[in-house]
Structure 1
Amino acid sequence: MQALALAITLVGMVLGAFLLTALRVWWFAPLASNWGNLDKLIIISLVLCGGAFIAINLFVAYTIYAHNSHRGRKAFFFVDNPRLEWRLIWLTAIGIVLLLAPGLYFYAQVITPPQKPYVIEVLTQQWLWSYRYPGKDGVLGPADIKNYSPANPFGVNTEAQTSQDDVPALGGPLYLPLGQPVLLRMRSNDVLHSFFVPEFRMKMDVVPGMVTQMWFTPTRTGEFQVICAELCGVGHSTMIGKVVVVEPKEFERWLEERPTIAQTLQSTGNAQR
C-alpha cells in the first residue's frame, strides 16, 4: 500500500505541474519589446526540462509500483551496464546541446546593439532609479563618480560642452519613444543593483565601478514597472520605478519641457546662496 500511495503521489505531482503549465496559471507578462525570441528560448527549455521531469518521475512511479518488495523475492544486482550508460551519456549530451545552442544564438543578439540606438544613462542608488538623456546635440556628456555631489548626482563633467544640454530625470520615470531602439548604459553610486522590466524581457546587473548595458526596442505604449532584481539593502523591496512608453512626438515634447543639466546646476547654485 505504501508503494502504491507513493506512486500515485508522484503521478499526481506530474499531472498537477503539467496542468499548471498548460493552463498558464503563472505565465509571462504581456510582451512590450522586441525580445519575443527570449520567450521562445524559455519555452524550448521548458519543453526539454519538462519532458525530462515527466519521464523520470513516471518511470520512478512505475518502478516503485511494479517492483515493490514481496516475500521470497530478491533484488537482482549487476555491477554495470555499459550500453545503458552510453545511451544515457548521448541522451544527456543531446539535451545539453539543444539547451545551449539557442541560448548562445539569442545571447549574441542581446549583447549586440544596433548601430544607432538612442542612448540613455541609468543611475542607481539606494533606493532610487534616475536617468540622463542626451540633449539637442544627441551626445551624453562625460561623467565620473569622482565628480559626484548632492547637486551633481550623475557626476557629469560640468566643464564639458556636451554635458550642458543633457537632461536629467532624478527618480524617474523613464520615458521612452515607441519603436526606437534604446541602449541603457547603467552605473551605480553605491551597491549592486539589477534593472529589470518583465514586459521588456530584459534584466541586467548594475555593478559599482563599471558600466553595464542592455538594449531593446519598445513595441507597445503604456506604463511598466522597473524592479530591482538584486538584494540591495533593507529598502530593496521599495526600489521600484516606472517606465512610460509614448509616441515619438510626445516623447520629444516631454524632453523639451525638462530642464537641462546646466539649468539644474544653476538653479541649485542660486538656491544655496
Structure 2
Amino acid sequence: MDSKRTALTTLLGVALLAVFADPALAQGYDSTTEQLIRSLNTQLLYMAIPITVLVEGILIYTVWKYRKNDDPQPTKENRRLEISWTIATALVLLVVGYASYGVMANDYVTNTQDGNNIETNGDAVVVDVTAKKYLWEFDYPEQNVSTTGTLVLPKGQNVYLNITSTDWLHAFHVPELGLKQDAVPGQSHVIKTKITSTGTYQLYCAEYCGVGHSKMLGEVEVKSQQGYQNWLQQQSSSSGGSSNNNSSSNSSSLSSSGLAH
C-alpha cells in the first residue's frame, strides 16, 4: 500500500511540473541568442525534474512510513550510500557545467570583441547603440544612417550591436530576443545575434538610470531582407538623413518635455 501511494505521489509531482514547464517549452524562438538560452534552460529543467521528484518522493515516503515512530533512531553510517550520492552529485554538476559552458561560450550569447574593431566574418549588419538620458540612438556607420527610438534590423542576417553610453550606466534589454547588455560610459560592449522572425519587439533600459528611467523605452523592428534594404534606401534618400535627424530631435524634445511634467 505504501509503495502505491509513493508511486501516485511521484506521478502527481511529474504532472504538476509538466503543467508549469509546458508553456515555456511550447514557445518559439525569435533569435539564435534566445534559442541557445532557452535550450539550456530546457536541458537543465529536464535534469531537475527527475531529481526533484526522486528527492521529494523519498521525503514523502519517509515521513509517511515513520509518522507513528515515537522513538526515532539516528541513521547508521553507510559509506556505500555516501560515496554513491557524492558521485551522483559530481556527475550532475559536470553535466550542468558542460552544457552551460557550451552555451555561455557561444558568440551569440557572450561576445568578447572590441567595439572599436568588430570582425564580422562576412555579410553582417553593424549598429552603434548609444544610451543617454533618456533615449536610445542607433547609428549604422556603413550606411551613414541614424535613428532614435527604433532599431531596424533584417531577418536572417548576423547583427552586431556595439553598445555604449554617453552619461552613466544604462542597460540594453530586449527580453523577447534574449538580448541584454550593460551600456557603460567610456566602454563598448558587443552583442552578436541573428533574428529569425519579423515583427516589433519592446526595448527597455534594464538599469535604473534616474527619474526618466521608466520612459527610456524603444522598439526593435525586424524586417525582411528586402524590407530592410528598402528602409535603408528611404533613409539615405531623405536629404542625407535630415528628416531622420529632425525626428530624432523631436523625440529628444518630447522626452525632455515629458520629464519636465
Instruction: Give the TM-score category using the shorter length.
Output: 0.7 to 0.9
Where does residue 217 of structure 1 map in the other structure?
Answer: 194
Q: Structure 1 residues 69, 208: closer, same or farther in 2, change over 3 A?
A: farther
Alpha-carbon distance between aligned partners in 1 of 2:74 and 2:37, rounded to the nearest angstrom: 46
2:141 to 113, 134, 147: 134
Give the equivalent residue in structure 2 for 1:97: 94
Any idea what the Cα deviations from partners look like across 1:222-245, whole Å, max 9, x if unmatched? 111123333444444433311111
Q: Which residue of the partner structure matches residue 58 of structure 1?
A: 57
**Structure 2 residue 53 is the aligned partner of structure 1 residue 76:** no
| Separation in structure 1 between the aligned mates of residue 17 and residue 210 of structure 2, nearest angstrom | 34
Distance 2:207 2:12 in 1: 35
Which piece of structure 1 moves more, 250-259 or 176-185? 250-259
| Pair 1:122 & 2:129 matched | yes
> Structure 1's 98 and 169: CA in aligned 2 closer, same or farther, altered over 3 A?
same
The 3 A distance-change label for structure 1 pair 114 and 168 is closer
- Unpaired runs of at least 5, structure 2: 1-7, 112-118, 250-261
Matching residue of 1:32: 30
Which SS does the other structure have where 2:30 is aligned? coil
Paired-residue identity, %? 27
Equivalent of residue 200 in structure 1, options 169, 172, 177: 177
CA contact (8 A) 2:162 2:188 kept: yes
* CA separation of 1:53 and 1:188: change in aligned 2, threshold 3 A: farther
Distance 1:86 1:98 in 2: 18
Which of 53, 60, 83 is 1:86 aligned to?
Answer: 83
For the residue of structure 2 that corresponds to 1:89, the secondary structure is helix
Tell me, in whole angstroms, the C-alpha distance in 2 between the residues paired with 1:65 and 1:209.
61
Q: Does 1:189 align with 2:166?
A: yes
Please state if 1:251 is matched with 2:225. Answer: no
Which residue is equivalent to 1:67?
66
Letter paired with 2:48: C
Distance 1:124 1:13, change over 3 A: farther
Q: Give deviations 1:157-205, integer Å, cap 9, x for gaps.
A: xxxxxxxxx32212x2100112221000100223333322233223222
Task: Provide, for residues 121-148 of structure 1, a one-character-per-residue CA deviation record: whole Å limited to 9, x for no partner.
Answer: 1111343222111244xxxxxxxxxxxx
Q: Aligned with 1:109: secondary structure?
A: coil
User: How far, CA to CA, are the matches of 2:30 and 2:42 in structure 1?
Assistant: 18
Name structure 1 gaps, 5 residues minimum.
1-7, 137-165, 269-273
Separation in structure 2 between the aligned mates of residue 31 and residue 68 of structure 1, nearest angstrom: 48
**Contact persistence 1:31–1:201 (CA under 8 A):** no
Q: Could you say what the CA RMSD is over the residues aligned between the two structures, in angstroms?
A: 3.1
Q: CA deviation at 1:214?
A: 0.9
TM-score (norm 2): 0.72
Counting matched residue pairs gives: 225
Matched with 2:16 is 16
- Give the Cα separation in 2 of the matches to 1:230 and 1:10: 42
